[in-house]
Amino acid sequence: MYDLLKQPDVEPIALPDADLLFFQPVELGSPYAKLLQALIDATDWRQEEITVYGKSYLQPRLSAWHGDLSYSYSGIRLEPQPWTATLLDLKTRVEALTGHEFNSVLLNYYRDQSDSMGMHSDDERELGPQPAIASLSLGEERTFLLKHKTRKDLKTTRLALPAGSLLLMQGDTQQYWRHGINKERHPCGPRVNLTFRAIKHEANSQ
Ligand SMILES: O=C(O)CCC(=O)C(=O)O
Ligand SMILES: [Mn+2]
């Protein structure tokens, strides 16, 4: 079997009820800054309106969904845009590193320090139980927050996600933990995060 931990740049993040592996720095075939700009320029970014507890909000960031299948969360349904050569190349690299296969990617574009993502779990039915989600970061380093859903004794964990880092969330992580990205007070340049996911075909056709 492919032994992930033999690779020099893989570090487990030890948290109870979670399975997290942090890869850094990841070889992406071109300089991170160049890739960041290419993704910003070539992506058809949307600002989605989501409904939470019956109220509508514009998400505080831009996003794009690429892949083979649609995806629903927070009251919105994202119809996929086709794979591009760049995204397919990144998917292949991320699959080789993590040993998982993916069929979709959600791109999030944090334009500056005011963009954020609220605390959530990626636990939609389409992802199946114990989903593997690989999160690749480019651009400005931002802080990834992890908070256990029920263990009040555990403090929020903060993980810096610099350009060229890859965080693999798998096992029970989504069941027991929420994660998110806060706004920052200091000025931040643009950041693009790509979360590679495997959407289950059966759930999608219902
Ligand atoms: O931007 C990040 O690092 C987190 C992205 C995320 O949690 C998501 O796309 O579900
Ligand atoms: Mn997430």
Q: Is 74 in the pocket of ligand 1 (CB under 6 A)?
A: no
pLDDT bracket for residue 51 (50, 70, 90):
confident
| Domain 11-204: CATH architecture, name and number where available | Sandwich (2.60)
Q: Which ligand minimizes its atom distance to the CA of 173?
A: 2
- Residue-wise pLDDT for 110-165, tens only, equals 999 999 999 999 999 999 999 999 999 999 999 999 999 999 999 999 999 999 99
* pLDDT at res. 202: 61
Give the start-to-end residue ranges of the domains of the chain. 11-204
- The tens digit of pLDDT for each residue in 88-114 reads 999 999 999 999 999 999 999 999 999
The pLDDT confidence band at residue 5, using thresholds 50, 70 and 90, is very low
d(CA 95, CA 66): 16
**Where residue 69 falls among pLDDT bands split at 50, 70, 90?**
confident
Identity of the residue numbered 175: Q
Q: Which pLDDT tens digit goes with each residue over 170-204?
A: 999 999 999 999 999 999 999 999 999 999 976 55
Q: Given the CA of residue 122, which atom of ligand 1 is nearest to it?
A: 10
Q: Which ligand is nearest to the CA of 59?
A: 1
Cβ-count burial 167-183 (b if 16+ within 10 Å, e if not): bbbbbebbebbbbbbee
Phi-psi region for residue 123, left (φ > 0), alpha (ψ -120 to 50) or beta? alpha
Q: Do 35 and 180 meet the contact criterion of CB atoms below 8 Å apart?
A: no
Q: How far is the CA of 91 from the centre of ligand 2 (A)?
A: 17
Closest C-alpha to ligand 1, atom 10 = 122
Contact call for residues 63 and 46 (beta carbons, < 8 A): yes
| pTM for the predicted model, two decimal places | 0.93
The one-letter code for the residue type at 102 is F
Q: What integer pLDDT is reported at residue 72 of this predicted model? A: 81
- Average pLDDT, integer, range 3-7: 45
Ligand 1 geometric centre to CA of 180 (Å): 7
Which residue has its alpha carbon closest to ligand 1 atom 9?
Answer: 195
